[in-house]
Amino acid sequence: MSIPVPHSPLPLGGRHIVLGLSGGIACYKSADLVRELSKAGATVQVVMTEAAQAFITPVTMQALSGMPVVTSQWDAREPNNMAHINLSREADAILIAPASADFLAKLAQGRADELLSLLCLARPVERCPLLLAPAMNREMWLHPATRRNVAQVLADGAQVFGPGHGDQACGEYGDGRMLEASELRDELIAFFQPKLLAGKRVLISAGPTFEALDPVRGITNLSSGKMGFAIARAAQEAGAEVTLVAGPVHLATPPHVRRIDVQSAQQMFDAVLPLAKGQDVFVATAAVADWRPAALADRKIKKDGRGRMPGLDFVENPDVLAAVARLDGRPYCVGFAAESHDLAFHAREKLVRKNVPLVVGNLGPATFGRDDNSLLLVDAQGDRALATADKLSLARELVREIANRLAAAQVAGA
């Protein structure tokens, strides 16, 4: 019988977002963005410029947001007739998506000739962040005037999400696409995560390794890499500079994470060791093969009818985690133990044998390939279970744990 996974809190639960639309064909993506933000728990108040209304109607945005759309600074529905004040005071953030080249120019110059630019100027900057998702033709994005305007709005405290790269509505190809709704949702979720690892450098290994037998066969395991990729995302959300060394998996790289792809255990060792000294944290989630064939056949090994594979000898692979733990000035090392039985016993044995401060245990057959997991934190003082949850929620909890341990170690060493 499978264990039911508890629903995690909605990542934008309790947040009130003012979503501003300036003019551009990317307004069609804003409709989906409202749905994505709402599903993540946010309430969304849409504000549209006159130009935005040429691309999508206020009726559509009202139907999706469940709230009246505001289009004018003279909106008589406001008792004090000050929509620009009221809207900005109620918001946890103002997200302009799409932010056109013209609108970026307005922000850079401090112009306020309509409601959306007016409320951006009137917002209390210390508690209402301004987030911008640019959308324009590639030449407009690369124009020196736009570059100056982006630099100015960044200097004034705004944050820019994107733009993306790819096909454009005009038929051209390049930078300038507004990020997709799901990407902007994730950027907003990450923005609100506590920056517990700000200024830290985190190195993560993830996924399986593949040990070749011959040109067409090899030995691997069932690790999907999902837990390691979730930890990479959670660490980046927490403000860390993250490098992810990944075995052969079919997963998208988390935003703003540097990724290095490898195949074998030796390649993972060769990628991790040179990087490890410059890191604050190393999280070894990868399910690295303990053994590899002593020799790689240069041709496919054929069956010979005798019921066994001829000449198959194995040698031990280098131990990535133990090697990092032996470094002078080593990072804070977190090992993972994917076991089939006696989880607490084997995780503690790994803690001692690898000489690391924390080992995270899980049952491999119960989690490989799944979107949920259960973790056991094992250290010198004992062990503590993290209840079954989705892997990203567990990753965020583990990041909090690591941040707390780093802070405690810093206090103890002061």
Strand segments (E) across 226-354: 241-246, 258-261, 281-284, 291-293, 314-316, 332-339
What separation in angstroms does the CA of 231 have from each of 63, 199, 365, 398?
36, 17, 20, 8
CATH architecture of 16-192: 3-Layer(aba) Sandwich (3.40)
Residue 150 C-alpha from the chain's centroid: 24
8 A C-beta contact, residue 261 and residue 246: yes
Among 396, 389, 385, 398, which residue's Cα sits nearest to residue 371?
Answer: 389
- Residue tagged active-site, from 27, 120, 170, 333: 170
Residues of the chain with CATH 3.40.50.1950: 16-192
Return the residue matching tokens 């112009």.
111
Q: Is 120 a catalytic residue?
A: no
- Per the prediction, the chain carries an average pLDDT of 91
Predicted pLDDT of residue 356: 94
Residues of the chain with CATH 3.40.50.10300: 201-298+309-413
Tell me: the pLDDT tens digits for 44-69?
999 999 999 999 999 999 999 999 99
Taking 70 as the threshold, does the pLDDT of residue 114 lie above it?
Answer: yes
Predicted pLDDT of residue 3: 41
Tell me: the pLDDT tens digits for 340-377?
788 888 889 899 999 999 999 887 666 777 888 889 99
8 A C-beta contact, residue 310 and residue 301: yes
CATH architecture of 201-298+309-413: 3-Layer(aba) Sandwich (3.40)
H or E segment at 219? strand 218-219
pTM of the model: 0.89
* Mean pLDDT of the region 308-329: 88
Tell me: the pLDDT tens digits for 18-44?
999 999 999 999 999 999 999 999 999
8 A C-beta contact, residue 89 and residue 134: no
Predicted pLDDT of residue 122: 94
Taking 50 as the threshold, does the pLDDT of residue 395 lie above it?
Answer: yes
For residue 54, the 8-state DSSP code is: G
* Mean pLDDT of the region 253-275: 96
pLDDT band at 250 (very low <50, low <70, confident <90, very high): very high
* Mean pLDDT of the region 165-180: 92
Task: Say which residues have a Cβ less than 8 Å from residue 10's Cβ, sequence separation at least 6.
Answer: 40, 41
